Amino acid sequence: LTQTTSVQQLVRGVLHGEKRAIAKTISIIENNEPEAQKIVSLIYPKTGRAHIVGITGPPGAGKSTLIEKLVKELRNRGKTVGIVAVDPTSPFSGGAFLGDRVRMQDLSMDAGVYIRSMATRNHPGGLAKATKDAARVLDASGKDVVVVETVGAGQSEVEVIKVAQTILVVLAPGMGDDIQAIKAGQMEIGDIFVVNKGDRENADKAVSDIQAMLELAPEKKGWKPTVIKTSALTGEGIADLLERIDEHAKHLKKGAHDERRKERVENELAEALTQKITESMMKELKQSREWKKLTEKILSREIDPYSAADRLLEKQLKNTRKH
């Protein structure tokens, strides 16, 4: 931060929806700079208004293209939108084909839209945390809807997408293996399943395959996940999809949200605490004589690292009790 822009000024800019302030704030959060925590503490009371929609699924399923169509439709309805893309190949991040990229740039010229791509590496505080806080910044900036795009079905992607209140799993016909993949990872997290590329002939088969899988899935607190067929090329199904997203938002408002939210808040508190405990303990321990001594002993193979860690922890806990 330069001396001329204080944290307060930056936060004021965010709350007024100023693009430059939003960009700078998210960068500070992404790099976990010293001001990050102060910023989050200032914007947190202003969050909770936006509907956060997560969109995940295998690469090439059409997530980014679908988002572009959804955003246009939302804009037609007068809603403002923030997009956080956690996907290096996304046209939002400057990846993909020139044509796609140009269309996305078109979108980013709109004052009611803010697009941000997150680097997928080098997050001092973790990608999930950075994404969550970036979505919060957009929420506080007054966006009605915040869309988070992630790729894949790995554990870290699942963590990232959990920032969302409504989760869409996007698939495309002819990606047979990926239907297996969602069985493993994404089946439980999807609130709405989307078969995109509905313009392709085998789309209906994919819809019925997923429907059959969902029959076996347990209901999620009164919400039955369904499948919607879309084509991000022709626009088919986009309005239906938005309607379904709205239905889910209403469902959450009826109270289903409270339980889910409490669970997440507790997880987040636990994570924040773990990080802080680790940081402060490590700092103290690394300065101790014991650390030095044990390091030497590990080097001379008198002790293994695990037993050494036990000893350090024991000592630290004893110290804590004394205080």
Ligand X SMILES: Nc1nc2c(ncn2[C@@H]2O[C@H](COP(=O)(O)OP(=O)(O)O)[C@@H](O)[C@H]2O)c(=O)[nH]1
Binding footprint of ligand X on the chain (CB under 6 A): 59-65, 90, 96, 196-197, 199-200, 231-233
Report CA-CA distances (Å) from 173 to 169, 177, 214: 13, 10, 17
**Phi and psi at residue 170, in whole multiples of 5°?**
-105, 130
Decide whether 132 or 197 has the Cβ nearer to ligand X.
197
Q: Which does 232 bind (CB under 5 to 8 A by kind): Mg ion, ligand X, none?
A: ligand X
Of 51 and 197, the one with the shorter C-beta distance to ligand X is 197
Q: Which is nearer to ligand X, 179 or 233 (CB)?
A: 233
59 versus 176: smaller Cβ distance to ligand X: 59
Binding residues (CB under 5 A) for Mg ion: these are 63-64, 87, 90
Q: What are phi and psi of 292, to 5 degrees?
A: -60, -45
Minimum distance from CB of 111 to Mg ion (Å)?
Answer: 24
List Cα–Cα distances, 245 to 104, 138, 154, 221, in angstroms.
Answer: 22, 19, 24, 16
231's contact among Mg ion, ligand X, none, with CB below 5 to 8 A by partner kind, is ligand X
Complex with ligand X: residue 18 or 236, whichever CB lies closer: 236
CB under 5 to 8 A by kind: which of Mg ion, ligand X, none does 60 bind? ligand X
How far apart are the C-alpha atoms of 76 and 144, rounded to whole Å?
13
Task: Please give the span between the terminal C-alpha atoms of the chain, in angstroms, as a whole number.
Answer: 37
What is the distance between the alpha carbons of residues 160 and 157, in angstroms, rounded to a whole number?
5
In the complex, the smallest distance separating the C-beta of residue 24 from Mg ion, rounded to whole angstroms, is: 25
User: Of ligand X, Mg ion, none, which one sits near residue 129, judging by CB under 5 to 8 A according to partner kind?
Assistant: none
Overall size of the chain counted in residues: 323
Out of Mg ion, ligand X, none, what residue 80 binds, judged by CB under 5 to 8 A for its kind, is: none
In the complex, what is the shortest distance from the CB of residue 53 to ligand X, in angstroms, rounded to a whole number? 15
Beta carbon of residue 57, minimum distance to Mg ion (angstroms, whole number): 9
* Closest separation in Å from C-beta 143 to ligand X: 20
Shortest spacing between CB 314 and ligand X, in angstroms:
50
CB-based contact 43:11 (threshold 8 Å): yes
80 vs 90 by CB, closer to Mg ion: 90
Dihedral of alpha carbons 107, 111, 113, 117, sign: positive
Name every residue whose Cβ is closer than 8 Å to that of residue 74 and which is 6 or more positions away in sequence.
Answer: 81, 144, 145, 242
> What stretch of H or E contains 117?
strand 113-117
The option from ligand X, Mg ion, none interacting with 95 (CB < 5 to 8 A, set by class) reads none
